[in-house]
Every structure is written in C-alpha cells, then in structure tokens.
Amino acid sequence: MKSSTSLQKRLSLGLTLGITLLWLGATLATWWVVRHELDEVFDSALEETARRILPLAAQTAGHEHIDLPSLPEEGPGVRTENLAYLVRDGNGHVVMQSHDADREDFNPQPVEGFTNTTHHRRYSAVMPDGRFTIEVAQPLSHRDEAAREALLALLLPLLALVPISWLGTLLIVRVSLRSVLAYRRAIEARGAGDLSPVRAAKLPAEFDPLAEAVNHLLQRMRKALEAERSFTANSAHELRTPLAATLAQVQRLRHEAPQALQTRIGKIEGSLHDLARLSEKLMQLAKAEGGGLLSQAPKDLIPLLAHSVEEWNGSHGQRIMLTLPARHSLYSAIDPDAFGILLRNLIENGLKYGAQDQAIQVSLDDEAVLRVTNSGAVVPDVVLQHLTERFVRGNTDVSGSGLGLAIVNTIVQGVKGSLMLVSPAPGKVDGFEAMVRLPLVECSSP
Ligand SMILES: Nc1ncnc2c1ncn2[C@@H]1O[C@H](COP(=O)(O)OP(=O)(O)OP(=O)(O)O)[C@@H](O)[C@H]1O
Ligand SMILES: [Mg+2]
C-alpha cells in the first residue's frame, strides 16, 4: 500500500511555500517600482545640478580667469563625490570642474540631454547663447548600490518569515487535529470484538460525516454479527432436544433390532453423537463471539482450574497431572464460564490426540500462563499455523469438528490474552503444547 503523507506536514509545507512565493513575487514587483523611481530621482538630481551650476559658471567665467583646480589624490579624508561636473566654453576648453572630475568620464563633444556609458550616467546642458556647456556625470554603481540595499531590506524579513510561518502552521494544524488524533486512539484502543459506536469529542466539522459513517458501519456490522451469532446459538439450541430424542430412539432401536442391523444402527448412533457434539461446539463458539468474556469482579483461577481437572480425572482415569502456581490465589478478569470452555477444549484435545498411555500436563504459573501439554505425534508447522481457524483439523482419525481451538482463540482474543501452539512440546522430542496467557489482575482479593 502506498504510504500516506501527513496532513500536518502537507499543510505546513504548502502554506509556507505559498507565503514565500507570494512574498518573493511582491518583493520583485516592489523592487522593480523602487528601481524605476530611484532612476527618476537620480536623473532629476543630475538635471537640477547641471541647471544650477551652469549660470554660476557663466557668471564666474565672465569676470575673471579661472585656475582649474588639480584633481585631488585619492587617500584618507578625501571624499569621493557622487556627482562630478565639467564646464566648457564655446571652444571646448574646460573652464570649470568639480574637484574629483575625471575627464575620461566625460564626452569631449557633449550631446545635450542624458547619455549612458558602461560606468556612468551623464547629463549635458548648453547655455541658451551657446557660450558654455556643462556635463554632469554620476557613477552607475551608486544607483546599483541604492537598488541593492532596497532589495535587501525587502528580502531580509523573509528569513524570519519562513521559519515563523512553518512553526505557526505546524502549531495551528496540530492543535486543530488534536481531536482527530484522540478519535484515532479511541478506535485503536478498542478490542477486536468491540463494535459499539465511537464517541468523538468535538471533531472538526470536515470530519463529522466521516465519524458518522464509521459509526453507521459499526452499527451495521454489529447487527450482522449479532444476527449470525443468534442464528448459530438458536439453531444449536433448537437442535439439541430433537437430537437427544432421536439418539434415545436409536439406542432403544439398537437394543430391539436383530443382530444383522446392529452395525448400521451403531453407525447412525455415532453420527448422531457427532451432530450433538457439533451443536454443543457451535453454542460454545456463539458464546465466545458474543462478548461478555470479561467479568466485572476478577475471579481466582486456582480453585476453578483445580475443580475442573478433578472432574476430568474422575471421568478419565486420572490421566491429568496438575501443577499449580506457588502463590495461593491468582485473580484474572476472564469470565469463569469462558475459562471453563477454554479449559474443556484444551484438555479434551490433550486426551483425544495425546498418546493414550501417557499423562497430560496441565499447569498454571504465577504470571497466569496456562499450559496444556501432551505427548504424541509432532504436528508439522504448516498445519500448526492454521489450527485456530474454524473447521480446520490436523491429520487424525479421531472424530471432531475442528472448532475447539477456534473457540479457544476467540476467547483469548476477547480477553486480550494470547495463545501459542507449539509442537513438539518445549523440552521434548514429540507432543503438543497449547500455551494461553490470561489477563492477570494484581490484587489479593476480588
Ligand atoms: N493436543 C493436541 N495434540 C495434537 N494435535 C492436536 C491437539 N489439539 C489439537 N490438535 C490438532 O488440531 C486440530 C484442531 O483441533 P480442534 O480442537 O480445533 O478441533 P477438533 O479437536 O478436531 O474438533 P473439536 O471441534 O471437536 O474440538 C485437531 O484436529 C488436531 O489435529
Ligand atoms: Mg478439539
């Protein structure tokens, strides 16, 4: 199955990426406008400077001869101007210049208006009478620097925005999904047989239809299972009386029938016995699946086990060896009737499939682990894995319906215990062991 991505991760990633892209887009648009405006401002400063200096230069040049100042050396304390200018007379002679003007940056034959070189933006203006021409030059790097600083100022907040947006979205989504996680835990925590509606506290509105659909589905499953169980239990129950009556009739018939018919009537009697056993197992299965496997008050398993084994020993020639735990009492939440059914099926199997001349070991330890061990042929692993399925039987001539271990497994799952089938039995070369771990309640009295 394709692994699903977390909604939390998807939302926080998507939102952060979206915000970042929008911010970047807005930054680029703003930067473009700022750059444009900066160019306008710088151009207007160039033009303004030229128009203000030109009349002053004309005035000064009309009165006296101007000694051109030499270009200052580069060094500490020397300020590099952003604007440099050069004033020429009508013959093209330089009559005035700013102190850091480098003639390389100026056009020997200035053209009126704005012009660009690779490093400078220049503006040139001419006096209306044509006597003087001024050219003002500004390094392009100055404009680039201003544009770069504007871009940085717009981009810097993004560095903080990305982690804040990521964390914020994560937090909001986590808080919003808290009830959904609680809902998931409520479903996970329930046992296999619990089909009651899931109670969810304040799910987000989008999840309400889902929760309703789940509860609806659970209700339908519960009804279907209840119908199936009650049909099984009722049929088995209804069959019991007519079967018992028929069996009694057949037994009477066998007594009265001539010798030639005895074998055939014996077979019919055997089949009726099998049918009666099957109906008994079906009733046990219906009980195991019907819930109610945990009792309100925990019961001490030791007397229950000791009593059952004593009864079996009474009817089966003392074949069962019982080992009880060292402690005096062992309380478990399993319903005593369910424990009785589980024990009956395991002991019955041990007696049926174990070597007939060997004893069956039944033990319960301090951790509420019940073991029923018998000797006999080894059951192969492939067969062993499927023995807890309904109507599955091993390679045997002994009659049976294949429901005993399925009943045990259903009870064990219903009480949240565990069942393990092992063959050969641990520490032996042959035999079979069923190991059941039951829920233990740590209290000295119920
Ligand atoms: N103690 C055991 N030793 C060896 N084989 C066993 C033992 N218990 C179960 N088996 C094998 O597992 C199979 C399934 O057992 P299960 O109790 O489910 O059904 P069953 O005994 O055949 O019929 P029933 O419904 O009457 O119990 C048996 O047919 C048998 O082959
Ligand atoms: Mg059995």
Q: Given this model, what pLDDT does residue 230 score?
A: 84
- Tell me, in angstroms, the distance from the centre of ligand 1 to residue 329's CA: 30
Shared fold status for 188-291 and 293-446? no
Inter-residue contact 362 to 368 (CB < 8 Å): no
Q: How many Cα atoms within 13 Å fall on the side-chain side of residue 216?
A: 6
Residue 334, beta-bridge partner list: 294
Q: Whose CA is nearest to atom 29 of ligand 1?
A: 393
Q: Would you list the domain boundaries of the chain?
A: 7-64+82-164, 188-291, 293-446
pLDDT tens for the chain, 446 residues: list them.
Answer: 566 778 878 888 888 899 889 989 999 999 999 999 999 999 998 899 888 888 887 777 655 444 444 444 444 444 445 788 888 888 888 888 888 778 888 887 778 889 888 888 999 998 888 888 899 998 888 888 988 998 899 888 888 888 888 888 888 888 888 888 888 888 888 766 677 888 877 888 888 899 999 999 989 988 988 888 788 888 888 888 899 999 999 999 999 999 889 999 999 999 999 999 999 999 899 889 877 788 878 899 999 999 999 999 999 888 999 999 998 899 998 999 999 999 999 999 999 999 999 999 999 999 999 999 999 999 999 999 999 999 999 989 898 999 999 999 999 998 989 999 999 999 999 999 999 999 888 765 44
* CATH class as words, domain 188-291: mainly alpha
Burial of 328 from C-beta contacts in 10 A (0-12 / 13-18 / 19+): exposed
Neighbours of 335 (CB within 10 A): 20
Per-residue 3-state assignment (H helix, E strand, C coil) for 107-138: CCCCCCEEEECCCEEEEEEECCCCCEEEEEEE
For residue 365, give the amino acid letter. Answer: D
Q: Whose CA is nearest to atom 31 of ligand 1?
A: 394
CA distance 32 to 25: 11
Q: Does ligand 1 come within 6 angstroms of the Cβ of 376?
A: yes
Testing ligand 1's pocket by substitution, the residue of 274, 312, 353, 428 carrying the most ligand atoms inside 8 A of its CB is 353
* CATH class as words, domain 293-446: alpha beta
CA distance 59 to 53: 10
Inter-residue contact 96 to 149 (CB < 8 Å): no
